[in-house]
Amino acid sequence: MGRALHAIRSDHVQRYAFAAARIRKGERVYDAACGVGYGSYLLHCVGGSVTGIDRSAEAIAIARVSYPGPTFFEGDATEVPGEPDIVVGLEMLEHLDEPERFLANVAAAKPRLTILTTPQYEGSEPNPFHLHHWTRDEFGTLLDKYFPAIEWWGQDREGITPGVGPGTIYMIAVCGAICS
């Protein structure tokens, strides 16, 4: 493998490990905005049949060389290919011009679970590279339009725990008709 996972920020790896723990062997997994592919690889390692899509041709080229197993495509990550069992969108919604377009496409695909993460903005300085900055209530209002059930988790400097509290840095929403 060309890129070692130990070189990736540990909080990012933790969020992908959280998602991977919810995948059943053989499930079709769509990793939206997969970047250089390390997350898709982690999802693949637990037995998922993973498709990663990113708009960056350079990122996809790195993914194909560095992380064997998943299938990688250059394209619009807001389009949901096929009928995935799991959709994973980690740190991508805040970068989209129209996050509701992606959420509507996911809801139409009817995956068993959708796992989404985004930074929580409760009094923190907004990231200039993010087009959207949500609080827990704002993010919940957005997701409630598309998903019948949402289980909330939060990640702080100590790790991932149930619920989203004041110290939460990243909000994690496990969405679907069946959560956990």
Mean pLDDT, residues 135-145 taken together: 92
Query: According to CATH, what is the number of the domain 5-175?
Result: 3.40.50.150
Alpha carbon distance 88, 17 (integer Å): 12
pLDDT digits (tens, 9 = 90+) for 14-55: 999 999 999 999 999 999 999 999 999 999 999 999 999 999
Q: Which H, E and C letters describe the chain, residue by residue?
A: CCCCHHHCCHHHHHHHHHHHCCCCCCCEEEEECCCCCHHHHHHHHCCCEEEEEECCHHHHHHHHHHCCCCEEEECCCCCCCCCCCEEEEECCHHHCCCHHHHHHHHHHHCCCEEEEEEEECCCCCCCCCCCCCECHHHHHHHHHCCCCCEEEEEEECCEEEECCCCCCCEEEEEECCCCC
Domain positions in the chain: 5-175
Mean pLDDT, residues 162-173 taken together: 90
pTM of the model: 0.91
